[in-house]
Structures are given as structure tokens and as C-alpha cells.
């Protein structure tokens, strides 16, 4: 990547390592420590130029583009704190696979996949700090902050394109373990209901079943029944926001510990038994990668395994 400097302004020529990357993510790497809100403000005001023209945050860079990056001065309050070393070490230990194009991580619950909405960093920001020489790091898909388990991060534009195509087809198989309220019927194998994003008056974002929403399909299988709950395997055929959580609720059996889609009485009952988080875990991932099938597994975190033991003893 070639660079020129002119009175504090940098002119950066996009190389193959950044080809296809969103310009906002590119700037987050080039302007380390600058908050996302400041990045977006620079783009809105036209201070960042691509080939001498304005660009929106979702513009994907192309090989040979010239990016004008202005000097940015920040007060101490504006500087985003880096992820703590303890978290970086935890993520390093959670990496299950890494080659020149792909990282697979067993994400812990409570960690967002990216910063924003009051969060200064998430998984992707931490990985960018851990891999400073990686010119391209992008999330292939997402997990909710409170969901643990397997997630993919692409290290090349070509890998991202390949995996996105696989996700749109049948080249990726994702299996989740979820504990749902009540007795899930063994005959209920599929929930097919269109989903639509909504924003409440409070500003909270939720997803609802709606005839005008996007088509969504989840397959369910009973793994282990309990007196007041059922451990199920959920296989999302489509990849909509909150899909498994809303389909479980729509099927009459919301996920235990789900503060967004489970009613207060059930939340309180499971909290009394010791459940302190959403019981949803991305447990298995199968992909076709570089000509061969790869399967990754992540066992339930200790707190979820312990909660299942509590339920077994109560039978």
C-alpha cells in the first residue's frame, strides 16, 4: 500500500489486502483509537475523499482507489480505550482455527462482535489489535452479544466473498444449542415465519414475525427434555437477525434467559435456579473450505453445563 503525505493529509492507495473492505472499517484501522462516531462524522463532512470524491461509510474499496485521510486531533476523552489485555488473551485462547484467509473463534457470551451503541470495542476490534499486520479483517456473520459460540472472521476479501456465497446457499451448516421454556413438541421440526426488524418508542430494537418481513426458516430437534424446559438443537436455514430467538418464541417456547423475548415470570424462575444469561450457544459449524469440508465444535460453556446439571437433579 503506497502512501503520500501533504500537510498532515495522507493519500493511501488501496492494495489487494484492502480490496473490498468497507471504508469505515478501513479507516478504523488507519486511524487507530479514533471512535466510530468520529469516523462517520469525517465521512459525512466529506473530509475523507476517495478518488477526490465523497463516499458513504458502506462504500467498498476497490483495488487502486486513492483514499484521502485527513489529520485527526482528539482530546483525551475522545480516545477509545483499547481492549484490556485479559480479554485479548481470552480471545487468543478461544481461536479454534486460523490460516491465511479465515479465523474461527469460540466467542464468549457478553462480548459484542463489534463496537458501537456505547461500546468502544468488540470482537472484531480486539482481533484487529491482536493482528496489526492483517490488512483485512471482516466479520463473515454475526452473533448476538449474549450468544456464545462459533463465529467466522475473514482475513481476505476473496475469503469473505466465498463464505458469503456459501451462507446464501447450502455451503455452511450452523447448529445451535438452546434451552427453551416448556416442552418442545418432538413433532415440531420446523418454524417458518417471516421476520421484520422494529424499533420501539424506547429506542430498543426488536424483531417480530410479520407477513411483510423477510422469509426465515429454522429447523429444531429435541436433544434432552426436562420438567419445565427442553434442550433443543436449532439449525437456521436462513440468517435473519434474532432468528432462532424469535422463532422459538413464535413456536410457543422462548429461550430461557432471553430478556428481550421471554416473559418476566419465566425469566425470574430460571434466574432463581441460577441461570444468569441467554441459553443460546453456536455449537457446531461445517463449511467447505479450500476444497475440503471442515467441522468445528464448541462445547457448552461451564455455566450452561452447570445449569443443565441443576435441571437434571430437579427431575
- Report the helix count and the strand count for the chain, using DSSP H and E: 8, 16
Q: What is the DSSP letter of 59?
A: P
Question: What are phi and psi for residue 312, nearest 5 degrees?
Answer: -65, -40
Q: What is the DSSP letter of 238?
A: S
- Closest C-alpha among 131, 135, 127 to residue 30: 135
Task: For the chain, report the end-to-end CA distance as a whole number of angstroms.
Answer: 63
Q: What burial letters (b/e) apply to 44-81, b meaning 16+ CB within 10 Å?
A: eeeebbbeeeebebebebeeebebbbeebeeeeeeebe
Is-catalytic flag, 58?
Answer: no
Query: Active-site residue among 19, 24, 65, 144?
Result: 144
Place of cell 451462507: 167
- Classify residue 5 by burial, with Cβ atoms within 10 Å: 0-12, 13-18, 19+: exposed
Q: What is the DSSP string of 94-149?
A: HEEEE-SSEEEEEEPTT--SS-BTTBS--HHHHHHHH-TT-S--EESS---TT-EE
C-alpha 132: how far from its chain's center?
A: 21
- Closest C-alpha among 60, 52, 56 to residue 42: 56
Q: Which residues are catalytically annotated? A: 144
Amino acid at each position: 500500500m503506497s502512501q503520500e503525505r501533504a500537510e498532515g493529509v495522507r493519500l493511501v492507495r488501496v492494495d489487494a489486502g484492502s480490496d473490498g473492505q468497507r471504508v469505515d472499517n478501513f479507516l478504523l484501522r488507519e486511524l487507530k483509537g479514533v471512535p466510530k462516531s468520529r469516523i462517520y462524522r469525517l465521512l459525512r463532512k466529506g473530509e475523507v475523499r476517495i478518488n477526490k470524491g465523497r463516499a458513504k461509510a458502506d462504500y467498498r474499496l476497490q483495488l487502486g482507489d486513492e483514499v484521502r485521510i485527513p489529520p485527526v486531533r482528539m482530546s483525551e476523552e475522545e480516545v477509545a480505550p483499547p481492549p484490556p489485555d485479559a480479554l485479548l488473551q481470552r480471545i487468543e485462547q478461544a481461536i479454534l482455527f486460523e490460516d491465511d484467509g479465515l479465523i474461527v473463534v469460540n466467542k464468549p457470551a457478553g462480548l459484542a462482535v463489534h463496537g458501537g451503541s456505547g461500546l468502544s470495542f468488540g470482537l472484531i476490534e480486539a482481533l484487529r489489535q491482536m493482528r496489526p499486520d492483517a490488512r483485512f479483517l471482516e466479520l463473515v456473520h454475526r452473533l448476538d452479544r449474549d450468544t456464545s459460540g462459533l463465529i467466522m472472521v475473514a482475513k481476505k476479501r476473496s475469503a469473505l466473498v466465498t463464505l458469503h456465497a456459501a451462507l446464501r446457499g447450502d455451503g455452511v451448516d450452523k447448529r445451535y444449542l438452546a434451552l427453551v421454556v416448556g416442552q418442545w413438541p418432538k413433532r415440531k421440526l420446523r418454524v417458518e415465519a417471516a421476520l421484520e426488524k422494529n424499533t420501539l418508542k424506547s429506542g430498543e430494537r426488536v424483531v417480530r414475525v410479520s407477513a411483510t418481513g423477510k422469509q426465515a426458516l429454522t429447523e429444531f430437534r429435541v436433544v434432552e427434555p426436562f420438567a419445565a424446559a427442553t434442550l433443543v438443537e436449532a439449525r437456521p436455514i436462513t440468517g435473519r437477525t434474532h432468528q432462532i430467538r424469535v422463532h422459538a418464541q413464535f413456536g410457543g417456547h422462548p429461550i430461557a434467559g432471553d430478556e428481550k423475548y421471554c416473559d418476566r415470570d419465566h425469566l425470574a424462575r430460571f434466574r432463581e435456579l441460577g441461570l444468569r444469561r441467554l441459553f443460546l450457544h453456536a455449537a457446531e459449524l461445517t463449511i467447505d473450505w479450500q476444497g475440503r469440508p471442515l467441522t468445528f465444535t464448541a462445547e457448552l460453556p461451564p455455566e450452561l453445563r452447570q445449569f443443565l446439571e441443576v435441571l437434571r437433579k430437579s427431575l
